[in-house]
Chain A
């Protein structure tokens, strides 16, 4: 028994080594860029990472920024497990956030016990539908999900922005945002429960929801038949079909689920933070989700760890913006790109020559 535990611990540690190496390598590569624009990499990285560890602001904000990343990371990971790359989490979270706000505005009078679940449902459904469409297009017509999800991003952002501008904007407001949702739709900030954490920090119950969702996703993928069938489809469509699995249905299910998870960002954003839909609020959460999922090896535990890292970087990026001479918070985006590149090239170092996509690719 003890030996068993030790074995799985060693396995877990081994899983960590490569992602850590990829992060380290990305930081080294990024430091050349920092040098090139004329700043000190050491000072920059100190700002970038160091600012995450102060209490309460550093830790509070890091967890706050990590919350949407957990959702999008899970979203990308679930699709990955089915052999799909969902680059559409960004659009899915926009459409879902708008839907959340719309329900919160339309049913503003409802009490919290009704309005909160209703808003959450709206987030999940809207995201699910938006993710499910590319799933259907892929399963039914073979249209590659990477291109369709990207196009769906543009469409989602434009739609949300249109409805905000023409139908839900407070009159005279210069900012592109909707009117606020009903009070009943607000969910509590963690500051209310945690001593020493002020309520001005927007870290809210969604963070706990995100952690709980990780557990659910884990159970779904590894303990249920549907999860098994999704993973089998991703690992080998031919073998899955042989086993009687309707692979097309798994693709739709995985994409819808992925979209629903991305849509849950709306809960954090609308119900826990701004209490309204705010145009172009996302700082690329959907895209960062790709880095989170890959770095986290498409596993919920890895997604949490990677989200904390990128949450810290997003927070630190703001300080880099302000306190360095030249470097901007875009450095975080660059680091993400490099990390994805390194993780993608990992195949070479492991003993197999197959990416997360076991399937043959049609098109693209």
Chain B
């Protein structure tokens, strides 16, 4: 393989890693606080659609990005209210959000743009192809610092491991969890926005194509730690880049090559989950006793 090919493969891997990394870091905040976030997929779609739509109307991708962040945080708030306030089953609530955001963008794009689930093409000048990449990778050390060097991070970890202990020590468990879940929505939405106004130039139906779920798998593979999670995301991004590059070249049918990341996800989950320990209170609603 020539050097040019290798360089382009690496760039493509980094590009493809970006949305997953953003979603996975989002998932990290939520899950370290004890709230399962299987809604990452739906949150990405919410972000992607909002970013493309708002950018289309304002002509400014930064406004689009800000709107996506807001939308992601709000949708995550719904998940948070269901899980924290109403003690809903977190997996079921996340699934509801995912289904909801298969429907809502399609419904709205039909109404706004007379299309069946896509937004109009944006001109090249209205895209932000680089900023989300930089942001995603910069957020890895930032997340590490927040988690291990700030009071918020300490509380976040405590709440996810032993909410009762945190409660008796004077930590407002619900507040920390709400913050974490909303942060998670915002980050996943940036990941989604990158898909629609960074990598491509429009929102297409179900354009996240399972990346939210793969991000979750990467989070588990990365043992809920920022740096390891980034490495896991890079692995998936590289697999996807490789599969794209192979498509023109190899004899193997496209359908099979496209499956590489999905098969890899299953292999990683089955092979490594035994070695990583989830936050102990993950998935468990906290009921204050009085």
Task: Identify the A interface with B (CB < 8 A).
Answer: 33, 37-39, 85, 87, 137, 140-144, 146-148, 150-152, 154-155, 158-159, 161-162, 165-166, 284, 287, 290-291, 294, 326-328, 330-338, 340-341, 343-348, 353, 355-357, 360-364
Q: Please list the 10 inter-chain residue pairs (A to B) with the smallest Cβ-Cβ separation, ordered nearest first.
A: A355-B89, A337-B100, A333-B103, A37-B111, A340-B96, A345-B86, A326-B111, A334-B103, A330-B106, A162-B255
Where the two chains meet, the residues of B that have a C-beta atom closer than 8 Å to any C-beta of A are 31, 36, 38, 78, 82, 85-93, 95-104, 106-108, 110-112, 116-117, 209-210, 213, 216-217, 220, 253, 255-256, 258-259, 262-263, 265-266, 269-271, 273-274, 276, 278, 282-285, 287
From A337, A344, A356, A362, contact of B278 by CB (8 A): A362
Q: Is the CB of A360 within 8 A of B283?
A: yes
Chain A nearest CB from B58 CB (Å) reads: 19
Please, how many angstroms separate the alpha-carbon atoms of A87 and B259 in the complex? Answer: 18
Whether A337 contacts B220 in the complex (CB less than 8 A), given A146-B38, A147-B269, A151-B263, comes out as no
Q: List 10 A-B contacts (CB under 8 A).
A: A37-B110, A141-B269, A330-B102, A333-B106, A334-B107, A344-B93, A345-B88, A357-B89, A363-B278, A364-B31
A291 to B265, CA, bound (A): 26
Question: For A287, what are the chain B residues with a Cβ–Cβ distance below 8 Å?
Answer: 99, 102
CB-defined contacts of A39 to chain B, threshold 8 Å: 111
Other 18 A-B pairs with CB < 8 A, given A328-B107, A334-B103: A37-B110, A87-B95, A141-B271, A143-B269, A144-B269, A151-B263, A287-B99, A326-B111, A330-B104, A333-B99, A336-B99, A337-B99, A337-B101, A340-B93, A345-B93, A355-B88, A364-B38, A364-B282
A24, chain B: closest CB distance, angstroms: 17
A361 touching B270, Cβ below 8 Å: no
Contact status of A364 and B116, CB under 8 A, knowing A333-B102, A357-B91: no
In the docked arrangement, what's the CA distance between A140 and B273, Å?
Answer: 11
Query: Closest chain B residue to A144 by CB distance?
Result: B269
State A294–B107 Cα separation when bound (angstroms): 24
Assess whether B87 is in contact with A361, with CB atoms less than 8 Å apart: no
Contact B96 A150 (CB under 8 A): no
One of A142, A155, A162, A343 near B273 (C-beta < 8 A): A142
With A158-B259, A161-B255 as given contacts, are A347 and B87 in contact (CB-CB < 8 Å)? yes
- Pick from A85, A159, A334: contact of B104, CB below 8 A: A334
Q: Across the interface, which residues of B come within 8 angstroms of A154, CB to CB?
A: 209-210, 259, 262
- Known A-B contacts A154-B259, A353-B87; A330 and B96 likewise in contact (beta carbons under 8 Å): no
Bound CA–CA A210/B256 (angstroms): 34
Q: Which residue of A lies closest to B100 (CB)?
A: A337
In the assembled complex, the Cα of A257 lies from the Cα of B240 at a distance in Å of 33
* Closest CB in chain B relative to A208 CB, distance in Å: 29
State whether A347 touches B274 (Cβ < 8 A). Answer: no
Contact between chains at A137 and B269 (CB < 8 Å): yes
Of the candidates B36, B92, B256, B269, which one forms a contact with A162 in the assembled complex, judged by CB atoms under 8 Å apart?
B256
Distance between Cα atoms of A287 and B95 in the complex (Å)? 9
Assembly CA distance A46 to B263 (angstroms): 44
B110 touches A328 (CB 8 A): yes
B262–A327 contact, CB under 8 A? Answer: no
- B-side contacts of A344, CB under 8 Å: 82, 86, 88-89, 92-93, 96
